[in-house]
Structure 1
Amino acid sequence: MAATDFKDYYGILGLNKTASNEEIKQAFRKLARKYHPDVNPGNKEAEARFKEVSEAYEVLSDKEKRQKYDQFGQYWKQAGQTPWAAKNTRANSDFNDVEFGKYTNFDEFINDLLGRFNEPSSAGSSNRQAYNYRTSPGATDFGGFDNATAKTAQDTEAAVSLGFGEAFNGVQKRLSLGNETIEVRIPAGVKAGSRVRVRGKGQINPLSQQRGDLYLKIDILPHSFFQFEGDNLTCEVPITPDEAVLGASIDVPTPDGMVKVNIPAGIRSGQSLRLRGKGWRLAKDGRSDQLVKIAIASPKEISPQEREYYEKIRDLRTFDPRSHLQQVKL
C-alpha cells in the first residue's frame, strides 16, 4: 500500500484510537458478517469493503503492527523495513488471494482468518494467541446454515400409503430411495398424518458428512366399511324394519373379526351403538371404540306373502311417527 493510499483503520472499523483489543474484535465480527461475500453474492463493493475491514483488523489486532501504525501513520509499513515488514507483505498477499468458496461455514473462515492474523512473526512475538471464533446462540452462519444446522445432518420426508389392515396390524415395507432399497417396519396403529422416523436414512449433510433421518408421512387408503372419527372407528350397519321394531342380535365386523351385537327394540335409523375397546390401536396402550351407526333398510322387492303381512301390520298399526307434524307452523 503506497503512502498516498493511507487508510484510517480505526475509522473503517468505526472506532477511535483508544479502542481496546476486545472492542476491535467485536467491531470486526459485526462488519465481517455484514459484508461477507456469501451474504452479498456477486456484490463487488461488499467484497471490497469486506477485505478493507479485514485488513484493518489484521493491523489493529496485532500489537506490534498497531504500534507502528499509531506511531508512523501513513508510513507505518515502510518504518524500519525489518523482517516484520516482509511478513506483513506476505500476510496482505495471502488475504487478497483468499478463496472464499473453500470455507464451508463462517466459523471455519473466521478461525482460519484470525489464526493467520495472530500467527507468531519471524521476529518472535510469541505472546500472541489464536482466537477461536464461535457464533452466539441463534446467530446464522453464512452459506444458509445456522450454527446448529451446520453440524447436524439432513432429514428427509417421504409419503407412504397403507391399507387399513397394514396400518392397524403394522407392516414391513420395502422402499426405494434413489439407488437404495430399504426395509422399513411400520408400527401397528399408525393413522393418516402420522410420521414414522427411520434413523440414519435421510440425506448426507455436505458439511458434517452425517446422515439425517427419514420421516415417513402415513396416508391410509379408504376402506369400504370402516372410517375414522377422531380416534374411534365408525361403520354403518343396515337392519330390517322388523329387527328395528322387535330388536335383534346381529353380526358386526370389527378389526378383530365378527362380533355379536344386540339391537334394542325400537331403535331408530341413525342411532349409534358403542362397542368399547373394539376400535383403533392407541399410541400408548389399549384400543379406542367402534361406533356402529344403524340404518333401517326397507326391502325393494318382497314376496306376495310378505306384502300380505306388511299390509296387515299397516292396518293394525297404532304408532304414528308424524303426529307431531300437525303442530308445525310458520
Structure 2
Amino acid sequence: MTANGYRDYFKVLGVDRGADADTIKRSFRKLARQYHPDVNPGDKAAEARFKEISEAYEVLSDPDKRRRYEQFGQYWSQAGAGGGMGGMDVDFGRYGNFDDFINDLLGRFGGGGASSAPGGFGFGSGFPGGFGGSGFGTGGFGAGFPGGAKGAPANLDAEANLTLAMAEAFRGCERTLAVNDERVKVRIPAGVRQGSRLRLKGKGNMQPGTGRRGDLYLNLQIQTHPIWKLDGDQLRAELPLSLDELALGGEVRVATPDGEATVQVPPGMTLGRSLRLKGKGWPIKEGRGDLLLTPVLRMPDTLSSEERALLEQLRAARSADPRAGWIQAARL
C-alpha cells in the first residue's frame, strides 16, 4: 500500500494489468495456498498477506469492480456499490479444511467455485461402530482447487484405519463397515501386510451440491499375535524344546498356521539357529513364504525326583566345560 492508501491489486497478485480472469485466478490460488493461516499457524504477517491477496482477488475477479478500480484507482469503491475485503475478519474456524474455505471464497467472489457448508465433509466424526473411533480425515491440500465454469472438485478422498486380527490378514476376510448412513461390504484379500492400503472407489467424501464423491482409503493394521511374527514373506515363531530334545534331536510335533506338523530336530541343535518349513509361511503372490521356527530351551517349572537324579548323573559325567575359553576372552 502506498502512502495515500492506494493498493495496486495487480501487483499484490503478481500479474500484469492486462491479465485475464484465468491468470488472476491461477495466481490467487497459488498465493492463497502459500499464505493460508492453516499452512502458517500463528504467523500474523502471513495472515495479513492472505487477507490482502483475498481483497485483491475480490476486486479483480469481479468485472464491474475491476472496471471501476482501473478507472478510479483508490476511489473505485466510492464510484459505485461495493468495497474491498480490507477490513474483513475471516473466521477460519468455520471451515472443515482449506478446500472448503477456497470453495466458499471463490463462490462469494464470483469465481465459479461450489460453496460448501462450513464444518467439513461427512466423515469428520468417524465411522459409527466401524473403526473404534479411528475416524476419517479429508484430503486437505490435495488434488486441486475449484475452477472453471462449474468448478473442479476439491480433494474428496478420505482415509481410515482398519485393524485386523492376524488370522483375518492371513486367510482374508469380509468386513461390513458403516460409512455415514451407508453399509459397505469390504473384501480383505489373504496375505495383506501391516500398512497395506485398500482403495474403495466412490466411497469417500461428497461435495455438497455437485454429487461428486472421492475414494476411501483403508490403512490396514494387524494385531500382534502371541506366537506368530511376520517378517517379510516369512512367518516366524519360537519353538520350545526340552533339554533332551535339544541334545539328542529327533522328531517333534510343531504348530503351523494350517495345523500340526512333524519336524526333525538335528542332534545338538544350536540355540538361535532356525528350522525352515518351506511353503508354510505367509501367503504371497506366488503361493506361500517359508515358516521359520527358532528353538528355545524350555525347562519345566518343577523337576521330578527321577529327572533330578538323571541331571545329577549328567553333571557328574559331563566331559566338557561349556565356558572353556569364554572367561578369558570376556576380560576387558
Specify the TM-score bucket, using the shorter chain as the normaliser.
0.5 to 0.7
Q: Distance in 2 between matches of 1:183 and 1:28?
A: 43
Aligned CA distance change for structure 1 residues 27 and 276 (closer, same or farther; 3 Å)? same
Partner SS for 2:312? helix
Gaps of 5+ in 1: 1-10, 15-21, 62-68, 74-91, 113-143
Q: Distance in 1 between matches of 2:165 and 2:314?
A: 46
- In the alignment, does 2:46 pair up with 1:51? no
- Which of 18, 29, 49 pairs up with 1:24? 18
Q: Distance in 1 between matches of 2:190 and 2:282?
A: 10
After TM superposition, give the deviation of residue 294 of structure 1 in Å. Answer: 0.6
- In the alignment, does 2:294 pair up with 1:318? no
How many residue pairs get aligned? The number is 253
After TM superposition, give the deviation of residue 105 of structure 1 in Å. Answer: 7.6
After TM superposition, give the deviation of residue 226 of structure 1 in Å. Answer: 0.6
Q: Distance in 2 between matches of 1:300 and 1:224?
A: 20
After TM superposition, give the deviation of residue 213 of structure 1 in Å. Answer: 1.6
Deviates more, 1:48-57 or 1:176-185: 48-57
- In the TM superposition, what whole-angstrom CA distance separates every residue of 1:93-145 from its partner, at most 9, and x where no partner exists? 7x88xxxx997685994579xxxxxxxxxxxxxxxxxxxxxxxxxxxxxxx95
CA contact (8 A) 1:173 1:183 kept: yes
After TM superposition, give the deviation of residue 325 of structure 1 in Å. Answer: 2.2
Answer with 1 or 2: which has the greater Rg: 1
Matched residue type, 1:24: G
Aligned CA distance change for structure 1 residues 323 and 286 (closer, same or farther; 3 Å)? same
Could you tell me which residue of structure 2 aligns to residue 146 of structure 1? Answer: 145
Could you tell me which residue of structure 2 aligns to residue 122 of structure 1? Answer: none
Q: Distance in 2 between matches of 1:57 and 1:203?
A: 36
Could you tell me which residue of structure 1 aligns to residue 300 of structure 2? Answer: 299
Gaps of 5+ in 2: 1-7, 37-46, 73-79, 84-100, 114-142
Q: Distance in 2 between matches of 1:45 and 1:236?
A: 64
CA contact (8 A) 1:28 1:57 kept: no
Aligned CA distance change for structure 1 residues 285 and 207 (closer, same or farther; 3 Å)? farther
- In the alignment, does 2:28 pair up with 1:33? yes
Q: Distance in 1 between matches of 2:21 and 2:256?
A: 70
Could you tell me which residue of structure 1 aligns to residue 248 of structure 2? Answer: 246
After TM superposition, give the deviation of residue 230 of structure 1 in Å. Answer: 3.2
Q: Distance in 2 between matches of 1:204 and 1:250?
A: 58
Give 1:229-268 correspondences, 5 Å limit. Answer: 229-268=231-270
Could you tell me which residue of structure 1 aligns to residue 309 of structure 2? Answer: 308
- In the TM superposition, what whole-angstrom CA distance separates every residue of 1:134-180 from its partner, at most 9, and x where no partner exists? xxxxxxxxxx9525893366122122221111111111112122322
Q: Distance in 2 between matches of 1:111 and 1:159?
A: 35
Partner SS for 2:157? strand
Aligned CA distance change for structure 1 residues 46 and 189 (closer, same or farther; 3 Å)? closer
Q: Distance in 2 between matches of 1:12 and 1:213?
A: 38
Could you say what the CA RMSD is over the residues aligned between the two structures, in angstroms?
Answer: 4.5
Partner SS for 1:277? coil
Tell me which protein shows more helix as a share of its residues. 1
Matched residue type, 1:277: G
After TM superposition, give the deviation of residue 251 of structure 1 in Å. Answer: 1.6
With structure 1 as the length reference, what TM-score do the two structures score?
0.61
Partner SS for 1:150? coil
Matched residue type, 1:308: A
Aligned CA distance change for structure 1 residues 235 and 264 (closer, same or farther; 3 Å)? same
Could you tell me which residue of structure 1 aligns to residue 3 of structure 2? Answer: none
Aligned CA distance change for structure 1 residues 13 and 254 (closer, same or farther; 3 Å)? closer
Aligned CA distance change for structure 1 residues 308 and 150 (closer, same or farther; 3 Å)? same
Q: Distance in 1 between matches of 2:188 and 2:168?
A: 8
CA contact (8 A) 1:13 1:53 kept: no
Partner SS for 2:313? helix
Could you tell me which residue of structure 2 aligns to residue 204 of structure 1? Answer: 206
Partner SS for 2:325? helix
Identity %: 33
